[in-house]
Amino acid sequence: MELQLDLTKRYNFADYLTWADDKRRELIDGFIKMMTPAPSTNHQRIEISLAREISWFLKKKKCEVFIAPFDVRLLNSGNEKENEKIFTIVQPDICVICDRSKLDEKGCVGSPDMIVEIVSPSNTKHDTEDKFRLYEKHGVREYWIVFPYEKTINVFLLGDAGKYEIIGMYSNDSKVPVNIFNGELVIDLEEIFEE
72-76, 112-116, 124-128, 173-177 — which is least confidently predicted? 124-128
pLDDT digits (tens, 9 = 90+) for 48-105: 999 999 999 999 999 999 999 999 999 986 667 889 999 999 999 999 999 999 999 9
Paired residues of 25 in beta bridges: 34
Task: Check: CB of residue 166 under 8 Å from CB of residue 155.
Answer: yes
pLDDT for the residue numbered 72: 97
User: b/e for 50-78, b at 16 or more Cβ within 10 A?
Assistant: bbebbbebbeeeebbbbbbebbbbbbeee
Torsion, Cα of 97, 103, 108, 111 (10° steps): -50
pLDDT per position as a tens digit, 139-161: 999 999 999 999 999 999 999 99
Residue 170's pLDDT is: 97
Cα 138 to the chain's mean position, in Å?
A: 12
Query: Taking residues 165-174, what's their average pLDDT?
Result: 95
pLDDT at 121 over 90: no
Question: How many whole angstroms from its chain centre is CA 159?
Answer: 19
Radius of gyration of the chain from its Cα atoms, rounded to whole angstroms:
17
In the chain, % of residues over pLDDT 90: 76
9, with CB counted inside 10 A (0-12, 13-18, 19+), is: exposed
Report the pLDDT value the prediction gives residue 76, as an integer from 0 to 100. 81
d(CA 153, CA 156) in angstroms, rounded, equals 10
Q: Is the pLDDT at 124 greater than 80, yes or no? A: yes
13-193 adopts what CATH topology?
tt1808, chain A (3.90.1570)
